[in-house]
Amino acid sequence: MSHLLKDKTALVLGLANRWSLAYAIARAFRREGANLILTYQGERQKDTVEELAKELGASRVLSCDVTQEADLHHLNEILRAEGDQLHAVVHSIAFANKEDLARPFYETSREGFLLAQEVSCYSLVAVARAVAPVMTNGGSIMTLSYLGSQRVMTNYNVMGVAKAALEASVRYLASELGPNNIRVNAISAGPVKTASARGIKDFSKILDVVTANAPLRRPTDPEEVADTAVFLASHLGRGITGNVVYVDSGYQIMGL
Ligand code: IMJ
């Protein structure tokens, strides 16, 4: 069996529970021999993530709220103190007020708009700044996106705008970190039933439409997203940066 991430250390941010895409990615990274560092946000998540970390065989679990500059500074210091370099970083973080995903986009408040941008987009920039100095031998930073960044998807609203900014941030970061051999990409996943999708109106209908019309005629499996993350983190992905890779059964190409 190949171990695509042997001797590599990966930091995974945004693992909340077993349904998280970050969980599937961490599992696949571990399968490929990576040393894992996980972060959680807030005391409420601590126990869950520590338990999953044990199960995954992660070497470290750190508290990190990406909206707090002090937390990112602390993350940077811990990574420096570890001594070993970092090779891969997975940013799987997004948030918008629930009301902003249910009412017309033009009713989004200034506060709600800025919150979605801060948590879902600016956090990638802040994380990149915190981790780049420890990626001394080059590396791969990746984030998760969704087609709602490019097309109007019902109720995605303020998140669509945040994902558009996130994908643009990927390109600017890739341009600036490329000379240090740090690659930056996004994986645009098809709809998956995660905690972030639960409670979203008509989510099963959206899944049915994708399944009926996507070239592969099936929904996106978290493990397909995770294997693409392995590829991007590994030597195999060495020529790819600034890209948005669709892992969506091909749905994105369809005009319907
Ligand atoms: C989210 C909203 C509307 C439509 C949606 C989604 N579709 C999909 C999602 C079709 C697939 C899930 N997604 C891609 C997201 O990025 C979700 C982000 C999100 C979800 C919540 C729910 C709970 C909450 N805030 C949130 N913030 C961001 O309070």
Whether 4 is in a domain gets the answer no
Is pTM beyond 0.95 here?
A: yes
- CATH number, domain with residue 132: 3.40.50.720
Three-class SS state of 215: coil
Whether 49 is in a domain gets the answer yes
- Cβ atoms of residues 36 and 59 within 8 Å: yes
Whether 234 is in a domain gets the answer yes
Residue 122 is among the residues annotated as catalytic for this protein: no
- Cβ atoms of residues 10 and 29 within 8 Å: yes
Q: Is 153 in the pocket of ligand 1 (CB under 6 A)?
A: yes
Distance 95 CA to ligand 1 centre (A): 8
192 CA closest ligand 1 atom index: 11
Residue 1 has pLDDT above 80, yes or no: no
194 CA closest ligand 1 atom index: 12
Whether 256 is in a domain gets the answer no
Q: What is the per-residue pLDDT across 116-148, written as a single tens digit (0 to 9) for each?
A: 999 999 999 999 999 999 999 999 999 999 999
Tokens 């707090």 identify what position?
A: 68
Range of the domain at 151: 9-249
Q: What is the DSSP letter of 243?
A: -
Q: Is 155 in the pocket of ligand 1 (CB under 6 A)?
A: yes
Residue 83 has pLDDT above 90, yes or no: no
pLDDT at 24: 98
**Percent of the chain beyond pLDDT 70?**
100
pLDDT at 196: 86
pLDDT at 201: 85
pLDDT at 90: 99
Strands (E), the chain: 9-13, 35-40, 60-63, 88-91, 139-145, 182-189, 244-247
- Cβ atoms of residues 88 and 139 within 8 Å: yes
Whether 254 is in a domain gets the answer no
Percent composition of the chain: helix, strand, coil (DSSP 3-state, to 5): 50, 15, 35
Query: Which residue has a Cα nearest atom 15 of ligand 1?
Result: 196
Q: Is 116 in the pocket of ligand 1 (CB under 6 A)?
A: no
Residue 156 is among the residues annotated as catalytic for this protein: yes
Gyration radius from the chain CA atoms: 17
Phi-psi region of 64 (alpha: psi -120 to 50; beta: other; left: phi over 0): beta
Residue 84 has pLDDT above 80, yes or no: no
Whether 216 is in a domain gets the answer yes
Count of structural domains, the chain: 1
Residue 32 has pLDDT above 80, yes or no: yes
Catalytic residue among 23, 106, 122, 156, which? 156
Query: Which residue has a Cα nearest atom 18 of ligand 1?
Result: 196
Q: What is the per-residue pLDDT across 220-239, written as a single tens digit (0 to 9) for each?
A: 999 999 999 999 999 999 99
Q: Alpha-carbon distance 130 to 72, whole Å?
A: 6
Structure token pair of residue 214: 């996507």
Residue 149 has pLDDT above 70, yes or no: yes
